[in-house]
Structure 1
Amino acid sequence: MTTTTANRSILATPTRLRSANRSSLLRLYLIRGVLAVLWAAAFAKGHDPLDALAITLLVIYPLIDAVSSLIDYRSMPRDAERRITAFNAVLSTLAAIAMGVAGSFGVPAALAVFGAWAVIAGAAQLVLGLRRRGRELGKQWPMLIAGGLSFLVGISYGIRAFGEQPSLAVLSVYATGGGVFFIIQAGLLAWRARQQRCAAN
């Protein structure tokens, strides 16, 4: 192997790794988004009354986020991002357990726990989105907006939980919005990958 060929191989390796990371993230975002929308549709029909089915759905939603975070963690090369993703995986797992317990105490408790989780998870998503802003993964605007909205909406859920006639119907809207933002981010990653392939050719 000549020196020039070796140098090209070394330079190409990070590019291939970044491309593989982007492809993995694209698939993860797309699947995560579709699952969120499907969950929203199921919960819209099954949240009232707050029975065993509704509580099961409340447990499943943060578990989807926990599993997604673990998959993201395994494909992530950067230490700072891995720590944030690991934190989110643990947080969402604890949220799933808390939702199962809170659901047995009624709608206000379930809404309050969901709101607390949404606040912290939204903040983590904001930080992760800011760290991923770059050439390979784009500006991450959908993820930043979704994280910011999750933070703000989570606060409003906490307030509603202690108000008059709290309702879990709002969680379907939350999940639908989050799912749409994930799908949009997946689409933007696919568009960017196509742009780079065209530029390379």
Structure 2
Amino acid sequence: MTHPTDSSALKQDHWLKRYYFTRALFSIVWVAAAIVIGSKSPVIAAVLLVLYPAWDAAANWVDANASGGLQANRTQRINVWASGLTTLAVCLALTAGMNAVLGVFGAWAIASGLLQLGTALRRWKSHGAQWVMVLSGAQSALAGGFFIAQAQKADVPSIVNVAGYAGVGALYFLISAIWLTVSLSRRKKASA
């Protein structure tokens, strides 16, 4: 991996650090709300389940635009659409029950995980902490398969099933943010 030192590359690394911290914070708050409030209130659970892919769509859109635009970031452009369509699919699935919702989340986790993996591989040479995003994308795709399998069972899942997935995602984003923070600090010391 190369460590760019020009100001635009450093600016992009600072952006990614803030972006990863923001994604981690959102996911941590979402998980807490899902466990504390959503597990007791079906209405709040429904709102949170719709909010999660909508947030992902918005976050990917913002990141792509801050990283050269949607045209330059094909995997994120596709992820924006996939997450947006998932938001609508979750709204529809809520009328059929939590098994359907978990099935939608499973399909989305597979697609968005593979797209995140593609984005991380594209960024690998120019930015640090991408190994964590590679792991996160792969884990997301695997979790999606698990969700689909769970959705086929007679047991009715709850928002807590999705909260575990979101919690692991938060951990990956937090590790990436910390990794970039350390990397940027080391580069600053090396150039001083």
TM, length-normalised to structure 2: 0.91
The aligned residue for residue 71 of structure 1 is: 62
The aligned residue for residue 9 of structure 2 is: 18
Note closer, same or farther for the CA distance 1:60–1:70 as it changes in structure 2 (3 Å cut).
Answer: same
After superposition, the C-alpha distances for 1:128-162 in whole angstroms (9 at most, x for unaligned) are: 1111112x412512111111111001001101101
The aligned residue for residue 117 of structure 1 is: 108
Tell me the distance in 1 between the aligned counterparts of 2:53 and 2:34.
Answer: 13
1:137 equivalent in alignment to 2:123: no
Q: 38-47 or 124-133, which moves further after superposition? A: 38-47
The aligned residue for residue 163 of structure 1 is: 153
The aligned residue for residue 147 of structure 1 is: 137
Percent of aligned pairs with the same amino acid: 29
Tell me the distance in 1 between the aligned counterparts of 2:99 and 2:72.
Answer: 34
**Structure exhibiting the larger radius of gyration computed from Cα positions:** 1
**Corresponding residue to 1:45 among 23, 36, 41:** 36
> Any gaps of 5 or more consecutive residues in structure 1?
1-13
> Any gaps of 5 or more consecutive residues in structure 2?
none
Higher RCO (C-alpha 8 Å, min separation 6): 2
**Corresponding residue to 1:86 among 77, 80, 84:** 77
* Alpha-carbon offset, residue 89 of structure 1: 1.0
After superposition, the C-alpha distances for 1:42-77 in whole angstroms (9 at most, x for unaligned) are: 111334467222111001001111111011111113
TM, length-normalised to structure 1: 0.87
Tell me the distance in 2 between the aligned counterparts of 1:98 and 1:74.
Answer: 25
Tell me the distance in 2 between the aligned counterparts of 1:66 and 1:34.
Answer: 16
The aligned residue for residue 61 of structure 1 is: 52
The aligned residue for residue 199 of structure 1 is: 190
